[in-house]
């Protein structure tokens, strides 16, 4: 309970935890997936698992944009940057993700023009300020960030910026959830739905999960109380034998989503027939690319990319961890060959990745406890 007091309404948190214990049937196991990496981070940081009865298992979902990007796409982005006077721009999260010939950060150290930007609009401004260079924006992310890329491309078009393009790696959350539910080695009882993705897409896109798959899904905020309340709502549905979409994060998430954001995305992007996800293979209609009208700003059409599929390092089990089949600590490389300081797989790079979250909170805690007990001996 140590983190509980840091938050507003610690008493309500304790009551909610008690409610969860009362609702959970001790004769069964509950496997709930939190789809979003932000939730994974919060769950570890606030020790929420310690507040839950042992028969409620939280499975970490694929909602970490950096983690699901296959290595070959990083190689492609770096290969494009080698073709002339090109500056590659990317979010900070991307910089340490390993490609086969190094991470963007390592390539920068070797002289490649790679820069961190915090917004796609910064990449566009960089292009406007440096007309002799071509600026590629390495776009990643789910529906949370895709509208910003779309908006930036609409600006690039209206301003007629010719030395700017987007290497589009945006993915969509619904097909990934579908792939997980279709996976034969996966059994889930319900979902904690992503918060910020849902501010854009709203709650309607999840309705099939309730109707066709008969699983409850509750869109949740990121505070400890939000996540616990979402668990209560899932358990209440399960107890009543219901499966509905509910919105715990109503203060931010509108049921119909963000219409201007969806409109910008629809104007700029179309679905790819298929896209490779790290560890999950090819998933149909799971990613976005630029429409033909935006060909001029499409890095994939302007530059050559090797487009080679790269398999993950053999011993790394990122795929199984991503799908929730293995916990981070069950991977053979976890904590020895693969650490946040020297990541082998992307799940160890991003703070939203379940391996990094597990390592930073659980693993260090266990290591400290072990050191303590050794010292006591």
Partner 1 sequence: MCLAIPGKVVEVFADDPPSATVEVAGVRRRVELGLLGENGAAIGDWVLIHVGFAMSKISEADAVEQMRMLAALGEDEAAIEEIRGYGSAGQ
* Binding stretches for partner 1 (CB under 8 A): 3, 6-8, 36-38, 41-42, 45-46, 63-66, 87, 89, 91-93, 115-123, 125-126, 129-130, 141, 144-145, 147-148, 151, 155, 194-196, 199-200, 222-223, 251-252, 258-261, 264, 350-352
Pull the structure tokens for residue 194.
């992503």
User: How many other CB atoms sit within 10 Å of the CB of residue 367?
Assistant: 12
- Cα–Cα separations (whole angstroms), residue 320 to 44, 164, 172, 331, 357: 19, 37, 20, 9, 16
Residue 237 or residue 350: which is nearer to partner 1 going by CB?
Answer: 350
State the sign of the Cα–Cα–Cα–Cα dihedral 195, 201, 204, 205: negative
Q: How far is the CB of 204 from partner 1 (least distance, A)?
A: 17
Residue 129 or residue 241: which is nearer to partner 1 going by CB?
Answer: 129
Residue 3 or residue 274: which is nearer to partner 1 going by CB?
Answer: 3
Apex 291 CA angle, 290 and 295, nearest 5: 75
Q: How far is the CB of 103 from partner 1 (least distance, A)?
A: 17
Residue 217 or residue 264: which is nearer to partner 1 going by CB?
Answer: 264
Residue 21 or residue 115: which is nearer to partner 1 going by CB?
Answer: 115
**216 within 8 A of 232, measured Cβ to Cβ:** no
Residue 124 or residue 209: which is nearer to partner 1 going by CB?
Answer: 124
Q: How far is the CB of 183 from partner 1 (least distance, A)?
A: 23
Q: How far is the CB of 200 from partner 1 (least distance, A)?
A: 7
Q: Using DSSP, state whether 141 is helix, strand or coil.
A: strand
- Residues whose CB falls within 8 Å of the CB of residue 65, separated by 6 or more in sequence, listed in order: 37, 93, 140, 141, 142, 145, 171, 350, 352
Q: Counting Cβ atoms within 10 Å, is residue 264 exposed (0-12), middle (13-18) or buried (19+)?
A: buried
Residue 120 or residue 279: which is nearer to partner 1 going by CB?
Answer: 120
Region of 176 please: left (phi>0), alpha (psi -120 to 50) or beta.
alpha
Q: How far is the CB of 351 from partner 1 (least distance, A)?
A: 7
Residue 120 or residue 243: which is nearer to partner 1 going by CB?
Answer: 120
Closest CA to 126 of 116, 139, 114, 135: 135
Apex 313 CA angle, 308 and 319, nearest 5: 90
Q: How far is the CB of 314 from partner 1 (least distance, A)?
A: 29
Q: Using DSSP, state whether 135 is helix, strand or coil.
A: strand
- Residues whose CB falls within 8 Å of the CB of residue 152, separated by 6 or more in sequence, listed in order: 120, 121, 123, 124, 137, 166
Q: How far is the CB of 371 from partner 1 (least distance, A)?
A: 22
Q: How far is the CB of 47 from partner 1 (least distance, A)?
A: 11
**324 within 8 A of 186, measured Cβ to Cβ:** yes
């Amino acid at each position: 309970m140590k983190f509980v007091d840091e938050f507003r309404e610690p008493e309500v948190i304790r009551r909610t935890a008690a409610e969860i214990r009362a609702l959970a049937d001790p004769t069964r196991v509950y496997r709930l997936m939190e789809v979003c990496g932000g939730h994974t981070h919060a769950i570890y940081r606030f020790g929420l698992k310690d507040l839950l009865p042992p028969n409620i298992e939280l499975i970490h979902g694929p909602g970490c944009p950096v983690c699901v990007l296959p290595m070959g796409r990083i190689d492609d982005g770096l290969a494009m940057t080698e073709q002339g006077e090109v500056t590659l721009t990317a979010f900070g999260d991307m910089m340490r993700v390993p490609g086969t010939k190094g991470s963007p950060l390592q390539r920068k150290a070797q002289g490649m023009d790679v820069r961190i930007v915090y917004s796609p609009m910064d990449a566009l401004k960089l292009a406007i300020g440096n007309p002799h260079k071509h600026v590629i924006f390495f776009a990643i992310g789910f529906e949370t960030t895709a509208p910003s890329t779309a908006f930036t491309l609409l600006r690039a078009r209206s301003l007629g910026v010719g030395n700017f393009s987007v290497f589009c790696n945006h993915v969509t959350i619904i097909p990934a959830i579908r792939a997980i539910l279709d996976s034969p080695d996966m059994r889930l009882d319900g979902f904690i739905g992503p918060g910020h993705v849902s501010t854009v897409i709203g709650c309607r896109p999840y309705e099939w999960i309730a109707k066709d798959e008969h699983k409850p899904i509750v869109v949740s905020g990121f505070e400890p109380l939000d996540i616990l309340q979402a668990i209560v709502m899932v358990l209440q549905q399960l107890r009543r034998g219901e499966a509905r979409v509910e919105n715990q994060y109503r203060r931010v998430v509108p049921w119909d989503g963000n219409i201007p954001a969806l409109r910008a995305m629809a104007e700029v992007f179309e679905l790819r027939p298929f896209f490779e996800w790290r560890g999950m293979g090819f998933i149909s209609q799971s990613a976005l690319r630029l429409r033909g009208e935006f060909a001029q700003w499409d890095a994939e059409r302007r530059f050559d990319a090797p487009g080679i599929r790269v398999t993950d390092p053999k011993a790394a089990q990122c795929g199984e961890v991503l799908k929730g089949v293995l916990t981070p600590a069950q991977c053979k490389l976890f904590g020895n060959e693969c650490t946040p300081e020297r990541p082998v797989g992307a799940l160890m790079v991003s703070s939203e990745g379940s391996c990094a979250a597990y390592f930073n909170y659980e693993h260090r805690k266990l290591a400290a406890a072990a050191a303590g007990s050794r010292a006591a001996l």
